[in-house]
Amino acid sequence: MNLNPSNRAPSVSFGATDRGRVRENNQDQFLVAQIRRAAALKATTLDADQPIMGDPQAELLIVADGMGGHAAGEKASQLAIGSLTRQLLGGSDLFANVDGEQAESELAKQLGALLTNVHRIICSEAERRESDRGMGTTLTMAYVRWPQLYVVHAGDSRCYLIRNGVAKQVTTDHTIARQMVESGELSAEEEATSKFSHVLWNVLGGNPDSRLDAEIRRVNLRSGDAIVLCSDGLHRYVDSEELSRIVGDSESPEAACRRLIAVANERGGEDNITVVVSRFQSEDDAMTTWVGEHDTTP
């Protein structure tokens, strides 16, 4: 997908998902979309019945990794992306004129509220059928309104920023193992092999009485940057150094996605594998900043 309005950074984006070599079904979901201004024609003398589309205003990238019995995880991840996207499209002014600390703080609260609404929708749906009880999903969203990138996150899917050949993890893994590393109970080297490395404390859905924390970050993009969103089915096999190299060496985001999925499968493919890659080109320059983490559960 190409994003190339006249006054914004050109980008090329691609997403792909794979069941892996072990799982019976794929509970991952992803979305890559342009958000445009549009006019739905009601009446006209023109020979046209399609909406009139303006330049892309933003790019939206989402990865969700569902969990639950049989198809429940797939349902949870579908609900998460679908309901979040509908909320965003219904609030087109959400990201307009973000300037100053107070405006950014308010934006962070609104983004957290969106995720809380999704959490409630999934929990409510889970109560309808016994087979859906406890279903949940991670969700990592990247919203690009050049040169600003807003990342909204819960769970252990990830967003990476690749700049000058170095991949930096933008999000935090919401696992018990990561909490233990941060508290000093576990070393960083022990994290990957810990029995708590895939035990999540923060997801959408799951336990309806649980607290939801929406992690929100802002990245000001720079010429030549790339962003990567992926589920843990990829990052458990590919570290940040190799991720950067594969994305940098690939001729396109599509080629990068295909290669990354192939590597994960070659190394076991024990989980569903999803990856989204977007590359940007512009003359703008900037830096990465922290917006905040908010407990959005009343």
Q: Is the pLDDT assigned to residue 211 strictly greater than 50?
A: yes
**How many CB atoms within 10 Å of residue 25?**
12
Question: Which helix H or strand E contains 281, and what residues bound it?
Answer: none
In a domain, 67, yes or no: yes
In a domain, 44, yes or no: no
Domain of residue 133, residue span: 2-38+54-286
Residue 47 lies in a domain: no
Q: What's the order of all strands across the beta sheet hosting 226-230?
A: 2-3, 11-18, 273-280, 226-230, 158-163, 166-169
Tens-digit pLDDT profile for residues 248-287: 999 999 999 999 999 999 999 999 999 999 999 744 434 4
Average pLDDT over residues 197-216: 88
Q: Quick one: pLDDT at residue 70?
A: 64
- Is residue 251 in a domain? yes
pLDDT digits (tens, 9 = 90+) for 64-123: 999 987 679 999 999 999 999 998 887 555 655 556 565 677 777 888 889 999 999 999
User: Mean pLDDT for the chain?
Assistant: 84
Q: Which CATH number belongs to the domain containing residue 62 in this structure? A: 3.60.40.10
According to the model, what pLDDT value does residue 283 have? 47
24 against 159, higher pLDDT: 159
SS3 101: helix
In a 3-state reduction of DSSP, which class is residue 276? Answer: strand
By CB atoms closer than 10 A (0-12, 13-18, 19+), residue 192 is exposed
pLDDT at position 53, please?
66
Q: Which of 43-47, 59-63, 209-213 has the lowest mean pLDDT?
A: 43-47
Please give the model's pTM, rounded to 2 decimal places. Answer: 0.86
- Does any domain span residue 291? no
Number of domains in the chain: 1
Q: What does the pLDDT look like over 2-23, one tens digit per residue?
A: 333 334 556 899 999 999 999 9
Is 266 within a domain?
A: yes
**Is the pLDDT at 291 greater than 70, yes or no?**
no
Three-state secondary-structure class, residue 161: strand
- The answer to whether the CB of 269 falls within 8 A of the CB of 22 is yes
- In a domain? residue 294: no
Answer whether 10's CB lies under 8 Å from 3's CB.
Answer: yes
Residue 295 within any structural domain of the chain: no
